[in-house]
Structure 1
Amino acid sequence: MSVTLNAHQVGRMLDRTADHIADEYTPVLHGIRIEADATFLYAVATDQSTLAIARYRHHGLDGAPIARTLPARALPALRRWLTDQPGSDPVTLTLADSKIRFTAPHGEMTLTVDDDQKYIGWRGLVRDIIEQTAAGTECACPALTTQMFGRFAAADERLRVWTNPGRQPVLLAGEDFLGAQMPVRSRHEGFDTGLADDLDHVRNLWDDSPTDADGLTPAPMPTGSRPLHDASRTPTDTVEALLHQTMRSTHDLIEESSDSPKAVAAHAAAGVMAWTAYRYLDALHRADPKLAAQIIAEVDDELDSGEIGEFAYDAATAAGLDPQKWQDDLEAETTPSVPDTSATER
């Protein structure tokens, strides 16, 4: 089973979807799904909040349709290899024995893949989204240039969007913020010859692929959650995590047996600290949302490093405190005492 595109097209497909890959806590989505039918090669990625699908018309499919997930850990090396190939050179993807081999005139690269790994039913999902969008649309949707999206990144954590017909500006509103973006001209005015004009056009373009390219039943969208120790990178997610932890600790405190004083103390401390952190974060976010987001990202990096004990020691020293005494006291509490047997021996 093999399919061929040029190197530029394969690299472009990875670039257009890589930012939408889920993290390692959702294994089925931690990579880019490659699927080939009789007409197109697709690249699909989703993190459950966003979905990206890129496709190119291939040069020919040899054998049965292809459907495998390229693991996220292998993608940087694959992208570098593709960059080293002339963009117009053909790259053939060949599937065999839990491997995908990328073959070009000037090199070859092989990735290990899981032949049994399913993926979400993205085709049905896309069809549902298109139909739902069409049902609630009363006007033509404007075309927006993505180069301007980044200008609103600092506006607010979330923005609500309203679209207007024709060449009217798109309205964006946040907390104490308003924005607008002018649409670009449509293909009828000479530009964007590959850009769909309306939802009927979108439906026609994307409704010509088989329901299930690999012949298997697609997996449902996973619902797994992150580990309790994993930090959030946005104020909204952090607030949710802190309030959840406060309620969880309060519940566990009530349920915990009185025979476990250390466990009771741990639940109480966790609840108090989570609530305190929430109150501080709420105040900081009201005063300076941008600073709150920056601090949350820094804390996430610090927790990922696994060195918060050292960070706390340095911070205490900088504050003029005596962290060495705290450490000595903790060691004394956890070191079992040795009974004095000298009198008995004598």
Structure 2
Amino acid sequence: MAVTINAHQLGLLIDKTIGHIGGEYTVPLNGIRLDVDAAFLYAVASDRYTLAVARYRLLHDDQNGQPFARLIPAEYLQSLREWISSQAGSTYISISAEDHYLEFGGTHTELRIGVNPDLEYPDWRGLLRTMTQRDTEDAPFPALSADFMSRWAATGDNLRVRVTADQKAVLVFGEDFIGAQMPVRYAGVGPMKDETFDAVRQQWEQTLAAGADGLDMATDMPAEDDWPRYEVTKDVYETGGDLLQQVLRSNVDLHNAGGTSSPEFLAHATAGVHAWMAYRFLDALHTADPRFARTIVAEVAEQLDSGEIGEWAWDAAKEAGHNPQQWHDEYEAHLNKRAAEKAVAAEAAA
């Protein structure tokens, strides 16, 4: 089946959802899913914690084809967005789904993206259907500006929200933080400018009716795959846990090492000591400045993932006024001396 949408609208679908895609270790969510039914083209994205759906009403000629759904992998989204931007906004783009690729056709160029047709995606219709069917009688339904909501990201906190009434401010609470956001006067949604929750829910009733009942994002989203051992978390809490786990593991390994002078014993002792030092430093930094601690943990994770920590350490030593070349030479001399002593010992034993 092929559907058509103008370039401007297709770009909007991607822009509205791309910030919600999951990470590479949750493969079914690592991208934007294009989902077509009899009336709409949907762009769907989720990272297990947020779920975003944007839709575009199809032209009448497109409404007689067969539905399809494919996940556009995250690695192709930038090139797709750039290709869309190269088209005039009013240009109609055709989207067709084959077994293992999506084809986007413009006026003069085409773009093919490889996809996995067998990839299972969460029942997003069912998840949202369950949420919209919960009792909402007399519940406030204020309209909040998305531009204003983004300002709360600077707190860096997990925020609690208290909705009081439609035309009253929404309260926001964080760690040592309180705030409020006024609703906007324009509260309409959709072409009829509906202002009540029931009216807005009816706009999506036909779409969500195809979903299952009783689903919950807490239990019905794909589980995250195991991270490779070299992957470094950017989360302060997880980083602290990893460091403490390393300390405890090193203590166990110390007892299994072959004597206090063995290389294994020294390696485990060094790993445990340094992990404990790193944890104490991180804990102190997070207590003094949680935002800066998150920044440092994220930067260190990227440096470790790059595999170039030797270069980072060399440059840092020089910037701090040390002489890394001297350290290198002294350590090489130490290793050569140990090698010579082992050789002499081996000859004497022979």
The verdict on a shared fold, with TM-score over 0.5 as the criterion, is yes
Instruction: Identify the range of structure 1 (97-106 vs 46-55) with the bigger mean alpha-carbon deviation.
Output: 97-106
Please say if residues 141 and 198 of structure 1, whose CA atoms lie closer than 8 Å, have aligned partners that are also in contact. Answer: yes
Residues 268, 48 of structure 1: CA spacing in aligned structure 2 closer, same or farther, 3 A cutoff? farther
Cα offset for 1:58? 1.1
1:232 aligns to 2:233 (yes or no): yes
Distance 1:262 1:28 in 2: 44
Provide, for residues 282-318 of structure 1, a one-character-per-residue CA deviation record: whole Å limited to 9, x for no partner.
Answer: 3223322333233233323322332221221222233
Provide, for residues 64-110 of structure 1, a one-character-per-residue CA deviation record: whole Å limited to 9, x for no partner.
Answer: 21111111111112111211222222211111241211112333222
Residues 34, 21 of structure 1: CA spacing in aligned structure 2 closer, same or farther, 3 A cutoff? same
Q: Which residue of 2 aligns with 1:45?
A: 45
After TM superposition, the structure 1 = structure 2 runs for residues 261-300 of structure 1, keeping only pairs within 5 Å, are: 262-300=263-301
| Superposed CA RMSD | 3.0
Distance 1:303 1:205 in 2: 48
Please say if residues 163 and 170 of structure 1, whose CA atoms lie closer than 8 Å, have aligned partners that are also in contact. Answer: yes
**Where do 5+ consecutive residues of structure 1 fail to align?**
213-218
1:74 aligns to 2:73 (yes or no): no
Q: Which residue of 2 aligns with 1:2?
A: 2
Please say if residues 186 and 192 of structure 1, whose CA atoms lie closer than 8 Å, have aligned partners that are also in contact. Answer: no
Please say if residues 2 and 61 of structure 1, whose CA atoms lie closer than 8 Å, have aligned partners that are also in contact. Answer: no
Q: Which residue of 2 aligns with 1:243?
A: 241
1:180 aligns to 2:176 (yes or no): no
Residues 328, 35 of structure 1: CA spacing in aligned structure 2 closer, same or farther, 3 A cutoff? same
Q: Which residue of 2 aligns with 1:98?
A: 100
Secondary structure at the aligned position of 2:16 is classed as helix
Secondary structure at the aligned position of 2:45 is classed as strand
Residues 54, 262 of structure 1: CA spacing in aligned structure 2 closer, same or farther, 3 A cutoff? farther
Please say if residues 44 and 51 of structure 1, whose CA atoms lie closer than 8 Å, have aligned partners that are also in contact. Answer: yes
Distance 1:197 1:225 in 2: 44
Q: TM-score, normalising length from structure 1?
A: 0.82
Distance 2:250 2:199 in 1: 55
Residues 252, 297 of structure 1: CA spacing in aligned structure 2 closer, same or farther, 3 A cutoff? closer
Please say if residues 124 and 211 of structure 2, whose CA atoms lie closer than 8 Å, have aligned partners that are also in contact. Answer: no
Distance 1:167 1:239 in 2: 38
Number of positions where the alignment pairs a residue of Structure 1 with one of Structure 2: 328
Residues 277, 136 of structure 1: CA spacing in aligned structure 2 closer, same or farther, 3 A cutoff? farther
Q: Which residue of 2 aligns with 1:119?
A: 121
Distance 1:77 1:323 in 2: 42
Cα offset for 1:137? 7.3
The amino acid across from 2:158 in the alignment is R
Cα offset for 1:325? 4.0
Distance 1:223 1:136 in 2: 32
1:63 aligns to 2:65 (yes or no): yes
Secondary structure at the aligned position of 2:256 is classed as coil
After TM superposition, the structure 1 = structure 2 runs for residues 109-188 of structure 1, keeping only pairs within 5 Å, are: 109-131=111-133, 134-135=134-135, 139-187=139-187
Identical positions, percent: 41
Cα offset for 1:46? 1.2
Provide, for residues 6-45 of structure 1, a one-character-per-residue CA deviation record: whole Å limited to 9, x for no partner.
Answer: 2211111111111111222222221111110111111111
Residues 277, 204 of structure 1: CA spacing in aligned structure 2 closer, same or farther, 3 A cutoff? farther
Please say if residues 189 and 200 of structure 2, whose CA atoms lie closer than 8 Å, have aligned partners that are also in contact. Answer: no
Residues 166, 288 of structure 1: CA spacing in aligned structure 2 closer, same or farther, 3 A cutoff? same
Cα offset for 1:52? 1.2
Please say if residues 144 and 184 of structure 1, whose CA atoms lie closer than 8 Å, have aligned partners that are also in contact. Answer: yes
Provide, for residues 97-128 of structure 1, a one-character-per-residue CA deviation record: whole Å limited to 9, x for no partner.
Answer: 41211112333222111122221222222223
Please say if residues 317 and 323 of structure 2, whose CA atoms lie closer than 8 Å, have aligned partners that are also in contact. Answer: yes
Q: Which residue of 1 aligns with 2:215?
A: none
**Where do 5+ consecutive residues of structure 2 fail to align?**
213-219
Distance 1:301 1:148 in 2: 30
Please say if residues 33 and 44 of structure 2, whose CA atoms lie closer than 8 Å, have aligned partners that are also in contact. Answer: yes
Distance 1:104 1:52 in 2: 26
Residues 10, 80 of structure 1: CA spacing in aligned structure 2 closer, same or farther, 3 A cutoff? same
Distance 1:220 1:334 in 2: 53
1:201 aligns to 2:199 (yes or no): yes
Instruction: Identify the range of structure 1 (77-86 vs 161-170) with the bigger mean alpha-carbon deviation.
Output: 77-86
Distance 2:197 2:333 in 1: 70
